[in-house]
Structure 1
Amino acid sequence: MNKLLDIFIKPFQGDNFVWIEIIIITAISATSWIYFYSLPAGVEANHFFWPLLGPLLIALRYGFAKGFICTLGMTAVLVSIMKDGGMLPLFPFSLIVGTFFVVMIAGEFRDHWQRSIDKYGIEHKHMQQELTSFTKNYHLLKVSHDQLELRNAGQPASLRAEINSLQRIALQYSERRLAHIGEPLLALFAHVGGIHVAGIYKVTNNEVEAQPHAVLGDSHTLNINDCMLQDMLVNKKLLSPVTFHAQHESCYQLCIPLVDTAGVLQAVVLAESVKFFLLTPANVVLLSLIADNAADLLSDELLTPVLATHQDDLFMRYVQRAHYNSREYALDSSLIIFHDHTGKNPDELDALTNHRRGSDVYWTYQPPNKKLCLMVLLPLTTATDSQLFITRMQQILFNALGEHCNDIDIIGPFSFEDSKHDIDSIIKIWGPNNDRMLVPSRANS
């Protein structure tokens, strides 16, 4: 119905029709004036000046200018008719002046009203534009904030802090570690990967346990025969619909394996609901990195933070993991060696292990033809942070040894961002068994 009215009214809204309307109203007003002027003096219709309504209507509808033109046209028509009829001396000058005053007042009122409407319309439009701009800026700010959070979550310092917090929890328990770190681990995955519904399951001998150790969200279920899950158990790689190309559909949107440094599948995270716009390549890398480090926390062997001399193979696994993180994820790590060249300070060297950070790996050994050494691997640590670590250790040694603090040499830090052969050469020189130390671990290769 409104569309039909619009179609009917639209042709009458143009400027051309306005002038046609003015001409018609002017003609009607002039004709009515002649008609009412010709009526006898006692007729009741003469008591009101009806021709005033035409110019008044135009003034109220289109403003003073067009109302004045209508009145002027009506006056001209009236003068012309009265001149032809020889009645010009009877011209009602006072009525014409009164009509002009009424039209002027009505027209000015209409113009003022229109200016107010236009002003409020402009202000309303400006407010709409400001609101639209504010809404856009709000969404841009929200997206930027989310991206900044994800970017900060991917920074080495932030990742190290998160992994350290998980390690502190794992070190408190000798059994059922997954049950205790499961919920904070799922919360970290949800923060980085936008996971809504997921469960984490223990894996023993490549068999997934039926009961989850932690669940995120509602309506999570285990489908042991799911094609994506089975493929993940075989390949031990993180799978999502983007990377999974099987013919059959999967009920999971994300399958994350927790593979430790020794290559053992410790647990799996199965997610049914994920924010796909957060599954960027960078975030998938972060999920894999977090899963790999969390898997080490579930192994009694790999959770040991301070290694003995005979655990050189285990230390090399950590070194290979650091190489892998640097190569695949562009996350730097550092290697530092403390050497007691006098052989008189084994207790002070051993005391340095009491000041270790959460994810750092300490290895005490004695290389051939050298005194006792302490090799420290700082995962996810930049060269700048490594230098700060050295400064702190120098202060600790000075407090313990005083002027003899130089009895312990500090070699490093060596960055994993440099060539792999530089790290290997350092380990070859300072390792307890040169040939054995250069055998790379198979983990993460």
Structure 2
Amino acid sequence: MKTPDVSSDPALASKQSPIWLKWFETIAITVLFIALGFWNRPDDPLFVSDVFPWPALVTLLAGLRYGFFMALVSSTVILATAGLLLRAELLPGDQLPYVWGLGVMAIGLLAGEFRDYWDRRIEKLVAANQYRHTRLEEFTRNFYLLKVSHDRLEQQLAGSSSSLREALRRLYSEISHAQGSGLNRETSELIMRLMVRYGQLQIAAIYAVEEGQLAETPLTSIGNFQPIETDDPLLTHALQEQTLVSVHTEYRDNRNELKTKLLLALPLIDSTGIIIGMIAVEAMPFFSFQPKTLRLLAILAGHMADMIQEQTKVQQQSAPEWRQFKFQLARVISDAQNHALPGSLVHLSFKEAADAVRVIERMQQMRRGLDVIAYPPDASETQVAILMPLTDELGCAAYVQRLADDIRQQTGQSLEALAHIRQQQISGTTDIAQWFERIRKEPA
């Protein structure tokens, strides 16, 4: 980006002119006017006897051209010439008219002063404009650098939907509409579609697991999947270890004993450690067969198992929201322990039930896709708990601040005045039951 050439501006041309040129032009114009006066009126070359002091035009021109100082120089030359001509008796009268001299000088000096004032203002504006152009140039460079980086990132992620948050949102929205209970053909087909979407599986099948034993026939499959032996070493090891097993680790550990046609075995394990199914993968793209993708599939498998088990593993007398909250909480703790994923809990204790209703309505409107909001069963009217999966301490603080700003804007009151706020980061060693028990004993 080119910066503007301030020297091309006529208003700033004098600022760029050399000093000698200013002196030369000022004196030359003044001398030329005096010479024209001698040629036109030899008896009164400076028009002293006229009503208007015509030499003031020279000082006016010098002031407009170069400012106050050059107007002073021009008027000094004229007054000095007038004094010399008066001594040589080349001017009418016996003394120099002071009103005439004051008018010649005043007109030029006033014009020069205004010219200098506007020149200073223009100089400040030009400096500010140059600063903005510099900042704009820096911003443009950073913008294009960011655009190039964004384009490269899009190229790297083209065709890949590996966002964990997006995957979990899609998972909860789709699997909640499945019919029947437990791991059946419909739920297994839905699980397979999600696994294909996020893991690019090509040949795979899902088997049910009952009492630690793999079913003989798969519930669903994709690609040209051929039946496998139930004692396949990869499947056996996955059942024993209750974790994802791939040929990467198994080939290193059992180089001479590994006889399998599978790439990986992924158990469907809920947050209590119960295996309800097994995903056997025979073929997938090489670029997807990497730790990042396998970790995503393991996390998705755990959430799928939890949702399938939700209706049968939790006491039915609890509210649906609290039941979902407890299931999601168990899964977040499991993810924190096994995959080091962050999670946050926020508990709000209100003094008045009416305040709780207003705040909870705003919370529902601000709720993100994975957040779970539920009333603890012991104090459903004045307490609310928010579970935020995949949210670290900074993200939790940002959420509370956004909620506080929204409440202040809507009601004019601070959130701290309406409720007692408690925050807890979830890790693999966090005892949530003890945390809730301590909150219950604390005064609101």
Normalised by the length of structure 1, the TM-score is 0.51
Seen in structure 2, the aligned counterparts of structure 1 residues 421 and 227 have a Cα distance that, compared at 3 Å, is closer
Seen in structure 2, the aligned counterparts of structure 1 residues 222 and 392 have a Cα distance that, compared at 3 Å, is farther
CA distances 1:262-285 after superposition (whole Å, capped 9, x unpaired)? 212122111111334533333322
Work out whether 1:172 is the aligned partner of 2:181: no
Seen in structure 2, the aligned counterparts of structure 1 residues 168 and 391 have a Cα distance that, compared at 3 Å, is farther
The runs of 5 or more residues in structure 1 that have no matched partner are 1-140, 434-445
For the residues of structure 1 that align with 2:430 and 2:214, how far apart are their CA atoms?
Answer: 39
Match runs of 1:20-419 below 5 Å? 148=157, 153=162, 158-175=163-180, 179-183=185-189, 185-244=191-250, 245-246=253-254, 247-301=257-311, 308=318, 318-319=328-329, 321-345=331-355, 347-348=357-358, 355=365, 356-365=367-376, 372-383=382-393, 385-387=395-397, 389-390=399-400, 393-394=403-404, 408-409=418-419, 411=421, 413-416=423-426
For the residues of structure 1 that align with 2:438 and 2:430, how far apart are their CA atoms?
Answer: 12
Q: Give the secondary structure class of the aligned counterpart of 2:375.
A: strand
In the alignment, is the contact (CA less than 8 A) between 2:205 and 2:225 conserved in 1?
Answer: no
For the residues of structure 2 that align with 1:243 and 1:307, how far apart are their CA atoms?
Answer: 44
Q: Give the secondary structure class of the aligned counterpart of 1:375.
A: strand
2:296 alignment partner AA = L
In the alignment, is the contact (CA less than 8 A) between 2:265 and 2:280 conserved in 1?
Answer: yes
For the residues of structure 1 that align with 2:392 and 2:243, how far apart are their CA atoms?
Answer: 27
Aligned-pair identity in percent equals 19
CA distances 1:289-323 after superposition (whole Å, capped 9, x unpaired)? 1111121121134898x995899998667545434
For the residues of structure 2 that align with 1:164 and 1:269, how far apart are their CA atoms?
Answer: 21
Q: Give the secondary structure class of the aligned counterpart of 1:284.
A: helix
Seen in structure 2, the aligned counterparts of structure 1 residues 142 and 381 have a Cα distance that, compared at 3 Å, is same
Normalised by the length of structure 2, the TM-score is 0.51
Q: Give the secondary structure class of the aligned counterpart of 1:365.
A: coil
Structure number with higher relative contact order (C-alpha < 8 Å, ≥ 6 residues apart): 1
CA distances 1:108-161 after superposition (whole Å, capped 9, x unpaired)? xxxxxxxxxxxxxxxxxxxxxxxxxxxxxxxxx9997675469971xxxx3122
For the residues of structure 1 that align with 2:152 and 2:199, how far apart are their CA atoms?
Answer: 15
For the residues of structure 2 that align with 1:407 and 1:367, how far apart are their CA atoms?
Answer: 23
For the residues of structure 1 that align with 2:292 and 2:397, how far apart are their CA atoms?
Answer: 28
Q: Give the secondary structure class of the aligned counterpart of 1:331.
A: coil
In the alignment, is the contact (CA less than 8 A) between 2:189 and 2:220 conserved in 1?
Answer: yes
Task: Tell me the CA shift for residue 408 of structure 1.
Answer: 4.0
Task: Tell me the CA shift for residue 235 of structure 1.
Answer: 2.5
Number of residue-to-residue matches in the alignment: 286
In the alignment, is the contact (CA less than 8 A) between 2:321 and 2:373 conserved in 1?
Answer: no
2:269 alignment partner AA = V
In the alignment, is the contact (CA less than 8 A) between 2:271 and 2:302 conserved in 1?
Answer: yes
The runs of 5 or more residues in structure 2 that have no matched partner are 1-149
Seen in structure 2, the aligned counterparts of structure 1 residues 193 and 243 have a Cα distance that, compared at 3 Å, is farther
For the residues of structure 2 that align with 1:298 and 1:273, how far apart are their CA atoms?
Answer: 26
Seen in structure 2, the aligned counterparts of structure 1 residues 321 and 372 have a Cα distance that, compared at 3 Å, is same
CA distances 1:92-117 after superposition (whole Å, capped 9, x unpaired)? xxxxxxxxxxxxxxxxxxxxxxxxxx
Seen in structure 2, the aligned counterparts of structure 1 residues 266 and 353 have a Cα distance that, compared at 3 Å, is farther
